Amino acid sequence: RRHTRSLCDWSSDVCSSDLLASWAERHPDDVLVLERLAGDHEAAGRWSEAAEVWRKLVMRFEGEARTGAALRLADACDRTGSPQDARDGLEHAYQSARENATLRQRLRAVAAAAGASQDVAALWMDEAEFAGDDALRFEAFKRAAEAWLEPAGDPTQAVPLLQRALEQRPGDHDTTVLLSDALTMTGRLEDASRLLEDAIAGHKSRRSKELAILQQRMAHVAFAANDHNVEMLWLSARSE
């Protein structure tokens, strides 16, 4: 360790990246040299090389240092135009730091870009678990449900999440619409119809954007039930 410290204290023209890389190759567990090497690569704009070193440090560091290395890895991969390359490192760090909101956000963005709806939903559920207030928890339930409603998701998983969100904020329009979609997609047409009828009954205005959306969803339920006469009636009501 004493030799490492003296190596990294040399002036930059002597302690070059080539020298650091050579040392790191012979001493792969020397995290001080690896961290200095990663920083040198970043300063020189060698983002692919920086990402490679940060990836190694994610595996060698623990605790907050591992989290920091994973975020630096994500930054480097963003600079290379390949943010997906950071996913393994982010996931490895997240296993022991699920409470870290920044790490969770970066991992969620990478998973969303990859179309990994189930992973995105799971990360939003973690967001709900660690949320500090009801408003954040409501939003997390809703966003998790939206991920489950994606083509690669599972609408049956969305239903209880949206029901929990509505318990926190009864009558919320957007959540009601999402729940009606989830119920329709899972074949629970009577439940969807009842939900929408209650929401429509609560509208005092005969014409509004929200009411038109609810009527459109009623038409969707009728279409799913193969009742095209009722479908046309709701579509007509929407256009009035």
Residue 28 buriedness (CB in 10 A; 0-12 / 13-18 / 19+): exposed
d(CA 114, CA 221) in angstroms, rounded, equals 31
pLDDT of residue 13: 43
Let me know if 212 is exposed, middle or buried by CB neighbors in 10 A (0-12, 13-18, 19+): middle
pLDDT at 68: 97
Whether the CA torsion 75, 76, 81, 84 is positive or negative: it is: negative
| Residue written as token pair 């998973």 | 111
Q: Please write the tens of the pLDDT for every residue from 17-48.
A: 666 666 556 666 668 888 888 998 999 999 99
CA dihedral 27, 29, 35, 36 (to 10 degrees): -20
In a 3-state reduction of DSSP, which class is residue 100?
A: coil
pLDDT in tens, 93-118: 999 999 999 999 999 999 999 999 99
Q: What is the mean pLDDT of the chain?
A: 89
| Residue 61: predicted pLDDT | 95
Higher pLDDT, 175 or 34: 175
What's the pLDDT score for residue 14? 45
The pLDDT > 90 percentage for the chain reads 77
- Would you give the DSSP letter of residue 226? T
What pLDDT was estimated at residue 33? 82
State yes or no: pLDDT of 200 exceeds 80.
yes
Q: For 120-160, what is each residue's pLDDT tens digit?
A: 999 999 999 999 899 999 999 999 999 999 998 999 999 99
For 72-95, what is each residue's pLDDT tens digit? 999 999 999 999 999 999 999 999
Cβ–Cβ under 8 Å, residues 146 and 165: no
